[in-house]
Each structure stands twice: as C-alpha cells, then as structure tokens.
Structure 1
Amino acid sequence: MPARELQEQLNTLREQLDQNPPLTEAERDDLHTLMAKIQAEIAVETATRDPSISDGVNLAVERFELEHPGIAGTLRNIVQTLGNIGI
C-alpha cells in the first residue's frame, strides 16, 4: 500500500530530524510544516489531491540536497511515493 510506504518514509524523516542535524530553526520549522501536510494527506486518504504538497517536497529536496543529503534522499522517496499514489 503506497500510503503505508509514505508513512514509513515520513517516520524515517522524523527519525533523521530527531538526530538533530545542523538545521536552522527556519529549516526545521519548514520541514515540520511540510511533514504535517503530508501526514494530513495520509490521514484523509481521499481522491482530493493537493499538488502543492508535491511541489513543497520538491522544493525541500532542492533546499537540503547539498548540506543534508540524507534528508534530501528521504524527501525524494516521499516525492516518488506521492507520485505513485497520484498526489
């Protein structure tokens, strides 16, 4: 089930953030906001699609790609899973 895979990837991202990587407060807040949106989408599990979530995750990938490749990799997986479930 793609939603379950997305939830697992979101959990991985939470674990990475729990390890306190060197992020600014703004970066950390942005990721938490993005994670809350993804979690809400998982919880709803409806046909309603919000392309801004995918766009937000893609922007986050670009933002974290150089300095935080682990976080960026997890975010890329989230983008792929969102695409697989039609979001």
Structure 2
Amino acid sequence: MPARRELQAQLDTLREQLDKNPPLSEPERENLRQLMTQLEAEIQLEDQLQDTNLVDGVNLAVERFEVDHPTIAVTLRNIVQALGSMGI
C-alpha cells in the first residue's frame, strides 16, 4: 500500500534526523523513540482500525518540536498525513 510505504519512508527520514544528533534532551529523544516504535507497530498491523491516540501523540510531538526543531516537526507532520492516508 502506498500510504504505508510513505509512512515508512517518513519514519526512516526521522530516524536519519535523530542519528545526526540534533540538540534534543534525553526526554525528547525518548518521546520520539516511543512514537517511532508505536508507528512501526502500526505499520505491521494488517487491520487498519483507527487509533486516534497514535495520531494525537504525533500531533502533540509536532507542537512540541515545531519551534526548536522545525525539520523534525515537518517530518512528523508528514507522518500524520501518511497515517491519514492509511485511514488511521
């Protein structure tokens, strides 16, 4: 499914951004790691039940990172769009 591939591509981009060691606190890094784990688990699920908690969590992360880390926030917004395309 194209939306799943797009979501995986965005997760890969986010992972690359984190590997570049932007100036994030350990709690911020852990928050992003947890979101990525949840998103990767969602990709693995065959049924596409809506999980508004997941989308809400990503939206909160967008708000949290948009001022100090705009590149990460853009990637997170793309993840929200990919989830929407998947019907999540």
**TM-score, length-normalised on structure 1?**
0.97
Counterpart code for 2:34:
T
| 2:44 equivalent in structure 1 | 43
| 2:11 equivalent in structure 1 | 10
**Over 3 Å off, 4+ runs:** none
SS at match of 2:21: coil
Quote the offset at 1:24 in angstroms: 0.4
Aligned length: 87
Aligned identity (percent) is 62
1:70 paired to 2:71: yes
For 2:46 and 2:15, locate their aligned partners in 1 and report how far apart those are by CA, in whole Å: 21
Quote the offset at 1:84 in angstroms: 1.0
What stretches of structure 1 of length at least 5 have no aligned partner? none
For 2:50 and 2:8, locate their aligned partners in 1 and report how far apart those are by CA, in whole Å: 17
For 1:21 and 1:7, locate their aligned partners in 2 and report how far apart those are by CA, in whole Å: 21
Quote the offset at 1:50 in angstroms: 1.1
What stretches of structure 2 of length at least 5 have no aligned partner? none
**TM-score, length-normalised on structure 2?**
0.96
SS at match of 2:29: helix
Deviations 1:11-56 (A, max 9, x none): 0000000000000000000000000000000011312221111000
For the aligned residue pairs, the C-alpha RMSD in angstroms reads 0.7
